[in-house]
Amino acid sequence: MSQIIKLSDNAAIRIKEIMSGAQKNSIGVRVSVKSGGCAGMSYVMEYSKEINPNDEVIEDKGVKVFIDSAAVMYLLGTEMDYKKEQFSSSFVFNNPNETERCGCGESFKID
């Protein structure tokens, strides 16, 4: 089975940076989706202190990412990237399942 999400080099580097500054009991980064945002769903990233029994664990480029089980179907085939721009930098999810995305890039919709 192919990975649920792939990490770009930039995303992996940034997660390593984040984890090196994280609290000692954080073991990785969890990605989930929640209802909300102007298009219906939004991505959530947070530190993970434990593995939930239903999490999917992605190990890519030396980084551990935990995918919330409820988010798996929304994230299949997604590439997670990290973009640095002049005034902001953020993780970007290039998700082939999206049918609609809001202008701010924070939320999306899947039919």
Residue of 36, 43, 29 whose CA lies nearest to 97: 43
Compute the distance between CA of residue 79 and CA of residue 39 in angstroms, rounded to an integer: 20
Query: What is the third-level CATH fold of 5-109?
Result: Hypothetical Protein Aq_1857; Chain: A; (2.60.300)
The torsion defined by the Cα of 96, 33, 17 and 79, in degrees rounded to 10, comes to -10
- Residue 87 pLDDT class (50, 70, 90 cuts): confident
At 15, is the pLDDT very low, low, confident or very high (cuts 50, 70, 90)? Answer: very high
Task: Please tell me the predicted confidence (pLDDT) of residue 86.
Answer: 85
Q: How far is CA 78 from CA 5, 22, 24, 69, in A?
A: 5, 25, 29, 15
Domain boundaries, the chain: 5-109
**Residue 43: pLDDT above 60?**
yes
Contact between 33 and 73 under an 8 Å Cβ cutoff? The reply is no
